[in-house]
Amino acid sequence: MTRDFELHAIESKTVATGQSVHIPLHRHQQLAEWLWVESGELELTANAQCLTLGTGALALIPPGQWHALSFSSNGEQRYQRLLVTHPLESVNDTICFTYPTHPAFLTSVLDELGRELQQVCPASSRPVQLLLNWLYAAAKPPSAPVQTVASSKTARTLHQMEETCHLPFSLESIAAASGLSKFHFSRHFKESVGQTPLQFVISCRMERAMQLLLASEQSVSDIAGLCGYKSATQFHAAFTRHSGSTPKRFREQQQNLEAKR
């Protein structure tokens, strides 16, 4: 993260009548994705829920958020996607969207950003900063919660926990590796991340499970073991509680979306 917004990429796309586009489940670990539905409808799937965004919608998807995008074949559709680095103070952990009152002006803003991106070192130039700040102000929630910035030491701990989430969870071991007692580590972790250590590990397991369900043909039972669960029943309950959908149903829903491409 930086002190200013930085623009990394813009994608403008038109989907012709009778065609469809599906962008499978993905995330940008360090970048936010901004979406502008210039015309048509977009289906945004995240956390096993589907949200329909109509013409004129502007959505902000925070870094690290798994999501999929689908455009149906009902009429011509146009959309633009931006990949942006957020300033630290603007980081929010929820997807937010709005319908700006001046869509024509927003279109001109995006066109200008596209031109600026072709210039030398445009990512953090003053014109880009002004335009990105306007877009963010147009779409952000009225009172977005501010997250505490994780230190580099906390970031290393998060990475290690994510990489080993399939192993048995041991708060004592994680705290010891950080040189803290279990109590102080848990308190510091919750203040920095917004989740307890166990909640974070569970969310990592669920992300891994979603990826395996989509990218492999392994059985639910095998995936349960790869995600740190001793039984398919235990995994089934945890996945359903986390996503609102059973593993089998989640896989089928995503496969159906993929088949519509």
Strand order in the sheet with 67-71: 21-26, 67-71, 42-46, 49-53
Please check whether residues 61 and 130 belong to one and the same domain: yes
Residues 185 and 65 in one domain: no
Choose the final residue of a domain: 74, 107, 139. Answer: 139
Range of the structural domain that residue 183 is part of: 152-259
**Strand, coil or helix: what is 211?**
helix
| pLDDT, position 1 | 45
Look up the CATH number of the domain holding residue 43: 2.60.120.280
Residues 194/147, Cβ–Cβ less than 8 Å: yes
Residue 1 inside a domain? The answer is no
18-34 residue pLDDT tens: 787 888 777 887 788 99
Write the CATH number for 195: 1.10.10.60
Give the whole-angstrom CA distance, residue 222 versus residue 159: 24
Residues 183 and 255 in one domain: yes
Number of domains in the chain: 2
Residue 195 lies in a domain: yes
| Residues 6+ positions from 183 with CB-CB distance below 8 Å | none
Q: What residues of the chain score a pLDDT lower than 50?
A: 1-2, 89-90, 142-150, 261
Residues 99 and 170 in one domain: no
199 lies in the same domain as 74? no
pTM for the full predicted model: 0.52
Whether 131 is covered by a domain: the verdict is: yes
* CB-CB contact of 50 with 44 (8 Å): yes
Provide the pLDDT for residue 150: 43
Q: What's the pLDDT tens digit per position in 90-120?
A: 456 678 888 877 777 777 888 888 877 776 5
